[in-house]
């Protein structure tokens, strides 16, 4: 009996030793020692298994230094390099090549990092003198393109208000603004000829109403009319307190890929008898966007007709011109609406009436309906 018990103990000890060396996960049915060392890894409950898998893995790796050190000395999983990578996202920098690795920093989008090793999934980098790792999918050897610095409009406060409901997108530019900006800008992309960024516009000869104010009121009515008809709308401005040039207004409409751009203005002439509505577009030879002449001409035609039908205004003409920055910078069909002459007493009084302004907005919307064949 004594011998048998001794033998049994020996077998137990050997089993434990074997378990420790191999790191095998065998149910610890024999002996309390094994149970203590491996911990509650092998519960029957599947939930308990899930909870303990992580610590079990750690025990295996830490208790087997032989295997670990062999791996390190014979095979570095990272191919050594010495170059630069750029982050394509806000990217965590970790102390180990694993999502469990401690986060020791972060790379901003486009930020450069000195790469020291290429792994299967992870890249090794030098991070302020520390060996660190980032996930390889989110870095690139080529520097990502700079964000659109050419188009500043998003930075202009109070501009570019989007009402997106999935319909055709009409950009509405209520011409001018509270304060003129006489700084110069090119009249078109790449042009050497310069023009004032934005003027303050005209004003009513009788009413004294500033043009930027009239333009905004009609534009807001037009916005509501278009939204009611199922269009999406991009408002270049909804207040007079902006500072956005004519070129920037066009670029803003371009940026949102508007289907049509309507620039709302009122006219003025030294001949106070001049009256009536007109629209404008580029010529077919416009060096910047002559390719947009055909749709812009049709748009101008239909909107002018819509206005005259809705308001009874005299139909003057469609002017084709390549002198307008706000047209030349367009990459989308565009029309300038000159609703009437504020220099004409009769028309100035009409334009001051709320009913006339609403009719004007409805007329522009009717023209857009025809343009989009709705
Ligand atoms: Zn104007």
| Buried b or exposed e, range 95-120, using 16+ CB within 10 angstroms | eebeeeeeeebebeeeeebebbbbee
Please report the sign of the dihedral spanned by the C-alpha atoms of residue 249, residue 359, residue 205, residue 345. Answer: positive
- How far is the centre of ligand 1, averaged over its atoms, from the C-alpha of 264 (Å)? 8
CB 219 within 8 A of CB 157: no
Residue 319 belongs to what domain range?
A: 153-371
- How far is the centre of ligand 1, averaged over its atoms, from the C-alpha of 282 (Å)? 16
Q: Is 12 within the bounds of a domain? A: no
Claim to verify: residue 158 and residue 102 sit in the same structural domain: no
Cα separation, 96 vs 12, whole angstroms: 38
Q: What is the pTM of this model?
A: 0.61
- How far is the centre of ligand 1, averaged over its atoms, from the C-alpha of 52 (Å)? 73
SS3 assignment, position 133: strand
- How far is the centre of ligand 1, averaged over its atoms, from the C-alpha of 47 (Å)? 72
Cα separation, 365 vs 360, whole angstroms: 9
Q: Residues 208-214: contacts with CB within 8 Å, 24+ apart?
A: 209/342, 209/348, 209/351, 209/352, 210/176, 211/175, 211/176, 211/265, 211/266, 211/268, 211/342, 212/174, 212/175, 212/176, 212/177, 212/178, 212/240, 213/240, 214/266, 214/339, 214/342, 214/351, 214/352, 214/357
Other residues' Cβ atoms within 10 Å of the Cβ of residue 294: 12
Q: Which residues surround ligand 1, an ion (CB under 5 A)?
A: 175, 201, 265
CB 334 within 8 A of CB 258: no
Claim to verify: residue 52 and residue 200 sit in the same structural domain: no
Claim to verify: residue 122 and residue 261 sit in the same structural domain: no
Please tell me the total count of domains within the chain.
3
- How far is the centre of ligand 1, averaged over its atoms, from the C-alpha of 202 (Å)? 7
SS3 assignment, position 222: helix
- How far is the centre of ligand 1, averaged over its atoms, from the C-alpha of 340 (Å)? 10
Claim to verify: residue 123 and residue 231 sit in the same structural domain: no
Claim to verify: residue 296 and residue 252 sit in the same structural domain: yes
- How far is the centre of ligand 1, averaged over its atoms, from the C-alpha of 314 (Å)? 18
**Could you list the pLDDT tens digit for every one of the 374 residues in the chain?**
444 455 555 454 454 444 444 443 433 333 333 333 333 333 333 333 333 333 333 334 444 444 444 444 567 899 999 999 998 877 899 999 999 999 888 888 788 999 999 999 999 999 989 999 999 998 999 887 764 444 444 557 789 999 998 999 999 999 999 999 999 999 999 998 999 999 989 999 999 999 999 999 999 999 999 999 999 999 999 999 999 999 999 999 999 999 999 999 999 999 999 999 999 999 999 999 999 999 999 999 999 999 999 999 999 999 999 999 999 999 999 999 999 999 999 999 999 999 999 999 999 999 999 999 97
Claim to verify: residue 31 and residue 177 sit in the same structural domain: no
Q: Is 105 within the bounds of a domain? A: yes
Token code pair at residue 10: 């020996």
Cα separation, 310 vs 157, whole angstroms: 34
CB 370 within 8 A of CB 306: yes
Claim to verify: residue 295 and residue 329 sit in the same structural domain: yes
Claim to verify: residue 203 and residue 352 sit in the same structural domain: yes
Q: Is 294 within the bounds of a domain? A: yes
């Amino acid at each position: 009996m004594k011998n048998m018990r001794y033998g049994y103990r020996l077998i137990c000890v050997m089993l434990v030793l074997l378990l420790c060396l191999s790191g095998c996960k065998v149910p610890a049915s024999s002996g309390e020692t094994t149970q203590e060392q491996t911990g509650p890894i092998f519960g029957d409950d599947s939930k308990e298994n899930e909870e303990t898998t992580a610590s079990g893995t750690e025990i295996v790796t830490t208790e087997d230094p032989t295997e670990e050190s062999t791996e390190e000395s014979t095979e570095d999983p990272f191919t050594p390099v010495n170059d630069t990578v750029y982050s394509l996202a806000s990217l965590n920098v970790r102390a180990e090549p694993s999502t469990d690795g401690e986060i020791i920093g972060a790379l901003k989008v486009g930020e450069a990092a000195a790469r020291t090793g290429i792994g299967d999934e992870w890249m090794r980098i030098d991070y302020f003198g520390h060996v660190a790792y980032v996930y390889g999918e989110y870095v690139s050897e080529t520097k990502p393109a700079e964000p659109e610095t050419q188009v500043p409009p998003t930075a202009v406060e109070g501009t570019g208000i989007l009402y997106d409901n999935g319909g055709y997108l009409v950009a509405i530019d209520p011409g001018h603004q509270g304060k003129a900006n006489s700084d110069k800008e090119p009249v078109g992309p790449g042009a050497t000829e310069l023009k004032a960024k934005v003027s303050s516009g005209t004003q009513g000869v009788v009413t004294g109403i500033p043009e930027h104010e009239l333009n905004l009121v009609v534009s807001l009515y037009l916005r509501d009319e278009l939204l009611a008809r199922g269009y999406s709308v991009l408002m270049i401005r909804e207040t007079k307190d902006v500072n956005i040039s004519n070129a920037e207004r066009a670029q803003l409409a371009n940026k949102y890929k508007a289907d049509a751009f309507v620039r709302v203005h009122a006219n003025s002439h030294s001949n106070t008898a001049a009256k009536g509505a007109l629209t404008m577009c580029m010529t077919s030879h416009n060096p910047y966007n002559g390719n947009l002449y055909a749709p812009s001409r049709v748009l101008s035609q239909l909107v002018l007709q819509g206005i005259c039908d809705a308001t009874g205004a005299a139909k003057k003409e469609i002017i084709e011109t390549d002198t307008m920055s706000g047209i030349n910078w367009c990459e989308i069909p565009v029309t300038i609406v000159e609703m009437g002459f504020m220099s004409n007493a009769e028309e100035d009084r009409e334009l001051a009436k709320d009913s006339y302004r609403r009719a004007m907005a409805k007329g522009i919307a009717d023209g857009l309906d025809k343009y989009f064949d709705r």
